[in-house]
Structure 1
Amino acid sequence: MLDGRAYAVDGDTIRLRDTRIRLKGIDAPELDQTCLKAGQSYPCGEQARNALIAIILKQQVECRLSGRDRYKRPLAHCAVGGKDIGARMVEEGWAVAYGGYAGEEALARRRSAGLWAGTFEYPRDWRRKHVPAN
């Protein structure tokens, strides 16, 4: 368990203490990814990070570490005030479910929340086209 003040790196990654942690079970747009809403391009990657900032700002964050991703980053389920951060990001529509949170994603879709208010490329597909392989 790690806890303390955290900082949003992007929409699905935080820095807690000196550890960069990937939120398990979600995938958010990359910082330079854009999406469409009402035919207009907008910086959905930045908006996803802003949504995460709003959730964790000046809050005590608690993370339960749970393995590592393919880039060797620690994976964790993290919470603020007992509420799962990943679930909130998906429910608010700023991240898609990635191995969990299917109910939250269905709710976001029904409400046309966040990314679901327009059209977007799934972050994993966007990365395949825009981010060079390591």
Structure 2
Amino acid sequence: MGLGVAFPSVKTGGLEAAQTATFAPDKTTPQYSGKARIIDGDTLALGAVKVRLHGIDAPELAQTCMDAQGKIWGCGQWSMAALQSLAQDTVQCAQTDVDRYGRIVAVCRAAGVNLNHAMVAHGAAFAYAKYSTDYITAENQARKSSLGLWQGGAQKPAAYRAEKRAQAQQDHAAVQEPAPKGCTIKGNISKSGRLYHLPGSRWYEKTQINTKNGEHWFCSEEQALRAGWRAAKG
């Protein structure tokens, strides 16, 4: 049984190992089920409930990898397609935790297949050893067989995310403009609106000003208020 995804040159394995992986929640374990909407290779939604697959970490959607011939391919999109293929039937999820983003963390099954295990066994996701060792064996087998992500070079998603965060911080810092002499009040535009920050206030040091985006340096609170800004809380 193949994955039937959009990158046929990427070798994958069968579902046999995934079908034998078991997870037996007790009666007190919160359960969720329904038709899944796939968000990426390790996240899905059952109605309004977002579910992060326990113990695995899939490439980010924009992430690329290298195949056995050294060619770049869209492994993030491929991973999402792999989960879509596996989760076509009704998905049943047993909650194991809640993550810092408020998503349910769960072990999910569809058509008798443990989706968490299957994604790792196919080489479509990594075992997330930071949080669980449940799928280390499946990952080792996928690596030995050069399946999916393991047929070439693939950066771990956590490292990819860290690099993106660091780059975003550098880009943000690069647009910081020096304050005009005597005008040190920061007029920042955020999702909370137009706020001004006084030197020594809670968010002053972390706030970056980019006048090209309509932000301003003010010389006094009166000037900021006249311009339509309001004081930031804290």
TM-score normalised per structure 1:
0.94
1:128 corresponds to: 162
1:78 corresponds to: 108
Stretch deviating more after TM superposition (44-53 or 74-83): 74-83
Distance 1:69 1:114 in 2: 27
Q: Does residue 17 in structure 1 map to residue 47 in structure 2?
A: yes
TM-score normalised per structure 2:
0.55
Per-residue deviation at 1:67?
1.3
Distance 1:93 1:17 in 2: 28
Aligned-residue RMSD, C-alpha:
1.3
- Tell me: higher relative CO, structure 1 or 2? Use CA pairs within 8 A at least 6 residues apart: 1
Match of 1:109 among 134, 138, 143: 143
Q: Does residue 52 in structure 1 map to residue 83 in structure 2?
A: yes
When you count strand as a share of all residues, which structure comes out higher? 1
The DSSP-based 3-state class of the residue aligned with 2:92 is strand
1:94 corresponds to: 124
1:62 corresponds to: 92
Q: Which runs of 4+ in 1 moved over 4 A?
A: none
Structure 2 stretches of 5 or more lacking a match? 1-30, 170-234
Distance 1:33 1:109 in 2: 19
1:8 corresponds to: 38
Structure 1 stretches of 5 or more lacking a match? none
Per-residue deviation at 1:70?
2.4
Per-residue deviation at 1:20?
1.0
Distance 1:96 1:124 in 2: 10
Distance 1:80 1:119 in 2: 30
